[in-house]
Every structure is written in C-alpha cells, then in structure tokens.
Amino acid sequence: MTREGIVNAVIALGLLLVPLWALWANEPFTITLATKVAILALAGVGLNLALGLGGLVSLGHAVFFGIGGYAMGILAQHAQTFDPIMEAPFLIEGTKSMPVIWLVAVVSSALAALAIGALSLRTSGVYFIMITLAFGQMFYYFAISWPAYGGEDGLSIYVRNEFPGLNTLNPIEFFGITYVLLLAALFLSARIAASPFGLALTSARQSPQRVETVGLRPFRLRLTVFVISGAITGLAGALFADLNRFVSPTMFSWQMSGEIMIFVILGGVARLFGPVAGAALFILLEHWLGGVSEYWLIWVGALLLAVVLFAPGGLIGLVTRGQK
Amino acid sequence: MSTMIDISDLHAGYGTGEVLKGVDLCVDQGETVALMGRNGMGKTTTVRALCGLLPARGGTVKVAGSDIAGLAAHKVARMGIGLVPEGRRCFPNLTVAENLVAAARIGSWDMARVTELFPRLAERKDQMAASLSGGEQQMLAIGRALMTNPRALILDEATEGLAPVVRSEIWDAIASVRAETGLSILVIDKSLKELRRIADRGVILDRGQSEWTGNLDELSVDEAARLLGV
C-alpha cells in the first residue's frame, strides 16, 4: 500500500470511528458534526473532479449544491402539505423518499451542469472563474426572489425524509447513509481518475493540443467531468438540506462555492481524500474556534494562506510529502 | 492505389507571414514518403496544416479523399492521421502505460503489439513519461500514435537530437512498422542516408514550395547541396 493509501484508509476509518464512539459515549452532537463532514466532503469530492482532474476552477459549484438542496426542499414541502407540484398535463406529487429525492437532485444538477458547462467551458482561466461565479449569483438571486418556495426565508421541512428500512431521524443511521454515499463517490472518482477518460483529462489539463492530435476533444472531456462533478455536488446538497431540514438561498451563495473550494484546497487538490480531510478540518475549526471568537474565519484564512504558500499538496500532500 | 494524403497548392502561415506558398505532396496507401528541406522551409508548418492545427489559407488538404478544411484537430486525428509531434511530446504527467491507454482506439495496434515493437516501453511501463530518456520518449510518442490505430503515420523529426545507437533503433522500428503494416508513412528528417533506405519517394520543400519530387536515389549531389545544404 502506498503512503497516500494508508493516509486515506486512516481518514476513512477515523470518520467512521468518531461517530461510533459518540454513539457509545452518548454524544449525538458529535454524530451530527461527523455527518456534516461526510456531506460537505461529498460536495468537495464533486468539485475535486472538476478542479483536480479537469483543472477547472469553478466558483459556481454552489449552484449544484443549491439545486440539490431545493430538489429536496420542494419535493418534501409538497409532500408535507399534500399539495401536488403540478396536476396538468400529468400529476406530479411531492415525496419524502430519499432515493427519489437523490435521483431528482442528481439529474437536475447534472442538467444544470451541462448547460452551464456548455457555455462557460468555451472560456478558460479567469474568464471561466467569473462566468461560473456569475451563474452562481443568478441562481442565488433567483432563489431569493421566488416567493413560492420561501424566497429569502427558505423552506423548513418538519420531519427528515425517509429511507426504506432505516430510521433517518436517528443520527447514527443518517450518518451511515451519508458515509456510504461518500465512499461510493470516492470509489467512483478513483475509477474515473484511472480510466482512459480520466487520463486523457489529466493530459488535457497540461497539453490540450497533444490530446487533440490523438483524436480527443478537450472540450468534451471537460464538459463530461463538469457534469459528473455537478451531479455529485448536487447529491451532497440534497443530503445537506436533509441534515438541517432547512433550505435557503445561502446554499446558492458564492460563499458556499468558496467554502467547497476551501475543503478541496486545504485537503489537497487532485488528491482522492483531499476534500474529506479538508472538510473535516474545516468543521473542527468551525466548532473549536467558533466557540472562541465570532471572527473564527480569519484563522481559516491564515491557514489557507499557509497551505497555499507552503504546502501546495494540501494536508494529504503534507503527510505524504509529495509521494503518490 | 488510393491516395491517403493529398495536399495540393497549400498556402498557410502565421500572422502576416506566409510560410507555405504552394506545397504539393501526396502519400499513397501503404507508401512511405520523406518530406525534406532546410530549416524554416515549412516542413513542420505543412504537418500542422495537415493535422488541422493550422488553417489553410489556400489550396486543399485531403485525407482519404475528403477535404479537411475547417475540421478541428481531433476530427482530423479520427480520420486516421496519427501524429508523432516534433520534440517527443508525450503526456509528461502520466506513466508510460497510461500514455498509451489514454490514446487507445480499437484496432490491431494494442498495448501488446506496441510493447513488442518497443520492448523498452514494457520495462518502463509504470515509470513517469517525463523521467524517460529522449529515445524512450520518442518510442513512447510513436507508440502512442500507433495506439490510435491510424491509417497514416506522420513522424516529425523523430530522430532529432538522439544518440546514433538510439537513432538506428528508431529507424529499425519505423522500417518494421512499414514492412508489417499497410500504413502510409510521412517522415520528416534530415538524414538523407536513412531516408533513402526507408522512403519510396521524397519531396523537398524550399521557401514554402515543393521544389523537388522523386526517388531519393535519383537526387543529384548538386541538388542535394542546393536544397538540403548537404
């Protein structure tokens, strides 16, 4: 096993053992924290595909996170008020079923990623960053000014959605769901990175013209990874909304996009477990420093600066000392 | 015999400078053609135009009978043009095996056949391409082009800057590709001796125009001195 493999295994095991310990010690809040880590890590795993593998600096991933959140919010809202989403030409009702909500979240965020990607991937560098940011702001202001679904106040869902065979209101069982989905997404990204598609994408990041001369189109490779990336972040959004039982336009905000990017950069861009390490550190800092000072983010800023300057491979890169 | 590559009266250039002022070049199915000329006469520019990396300003470039005007480079590659670019351009951040896999397209050339042609690539399978020697990188670049299962192989300065021993290894490999397959090969090089051995015909560019075409054995000493500076 490589050094990074060992580090990854330790992180995966740690994220599992902490909530199990909390269950034994009867500390449900710690389980909720671990669940939050797993969900935000999932969002980061999504972004890491675009950012790490594709080299696409997207400052608009909150769009997909928010779409996932609103997919959950809208479906569950209609289910709890027994008011169908639409009656004509055919009946669509709300649902409290997690798998259905996930499917809707994944498909709608993938479609949004397809549209946004098709437009913004025609640009690169700083223009790409600005265009993805602009899409994010569009969705943010749209959500604020959409009174049917709470507008600025967002939507509250009274009871967590259901998963067949599990009691999702039990923190450890809900954690289990998010943990399994996180592992599945990590497995998927590892497979993508090692596939011919992933290899070509890695090459397209450094030498797009060489990729073209072997008959592959960098635009299509990037669009494909952008869609997969958006879909995973969308799934995370649906879970995040379910964790809080609340959706609001802040899920679409550029600060949210920035936070997801911070997880990836703190943990290590293009490192498989980078987003997991980054999200865990971020939540720990939020928890510890948040109790000390309202301005805890200044310390996160300092840390981010230190990582970018002195440890470009992030936490994972630091521990493995650049070894793969 | 059908024509694989047919370039006629090609004009192309960069910015306001016109580099190609009427290049005529054709490579038949299964034929090996040498493209020669002194530095700056337009060899690489011709290759770039042929691969769709540079738009033609005049004339036509046809691959297997169809005009490639306006086609993107990846589409030209899919029509069967396999380029081994000048300067051994591999994917440096991938391993040898990954370089080959990333380019692979279904056909008779696969990993096994490429490593049979270049046994050294099999030994270095898991090594990063950037850490290979110049000769090995060149073998990898040729292997990668073959993995796309092209109908025509374009070798741009495949032996430039390599040690003599490595050079002859590359030439042997090109010769065996030629003997074993019906691949059309366009080879750009400066070594007249090797090209005479391997090429069916030669085309010499001078100031952006096809100045001389024919069997390289018939190239006179005077013409060689005038057009190639040898």
Q: What is the pTM of this model?
A: 0.90
CB-CB: which of B77, B93, B145 is closest to A212?
A: B77
pLDDT of residue A77: 92
Q: With bands split at pLDDT 50, 70 and 90, how would you rate the model's confidence at B223?
A: confident
- The distance in angstroms from the start CA to the end CA of chain A is 11
**Chain A residues bordering chain B (beta-carbon distance below 8 Å):** 196, 199-200, 202-203, 206-207, 209-217
Task: Give tens-digit pLDDT for B135-163.
Answer: 999 999 999 999 999 999 999 998 888 89
Could you tell me the domains of chain B?
3-228 (3.40.50.300)
Under a CB-based contact definition with an 8 Å cutoff, are residues B228 and B192 in contact? yes
Which of A213, A219, A221, A222 is most worth mutating to test chain B (most B CB atoms within 10 A of its CB)?
A: A213
- What is the structure's pLDDT at B88? 72
Domain limits, chain A: 3-15+39-320
pLDDT at A90 > cutoff 90:
no
**Burial grade of B17 (CB within 10 A; 0-12, 13-18, 19 or more):** exposed
Report the complex ipTM. 0.81
**Distance in Å, alpha carbon of A210 to nearest chain B alpha carbon:** 7
Task: Answer yes or no: do B72 and A212 touch at CB < 8 A.
Answer: yes
Separation in Å, CA of A128 to nearest CA in chain B: 22
For A139-177, give one letter per residue: b (16+ CB within 10 A) or e: bbeebbeeeebbeeebbebeebbbbeeeebeebbebbbb
Partner residue opposite A203 with nearest CB, options B91, B104, B147: B91
Residue B28: strand pairing partners? B3
Beta strands B58-63 and B66-67: pairing type?
antiparallel
Q: Contact B103/A214, CB-based, under 8 Å? A: yes
- A286-311 mean pLDDT: 89
If DSSP codes are grouped into helix, strand and coil, which group holds residue B212? strand
Q: How far is CA A130 from CA A119, A120, A137, A250, A278, in A?
A: 12, 9, 10, 19, 24
Neighbours of B144 (CB within 10 A): 29
Confidence bin at A103 (pLDDT 50/70/90) = very high
What is the average pLDDT value for chain A, to the nearest integer? 93
Residues of A in contact with B104 (CB under 8 A): 196
CA distance B54 to chain A (A): 12
Q: Give start and end residues of each alpha helix (H) in A25-97.
A: 28-48, 62-81
CA distance A12 to B96: 31
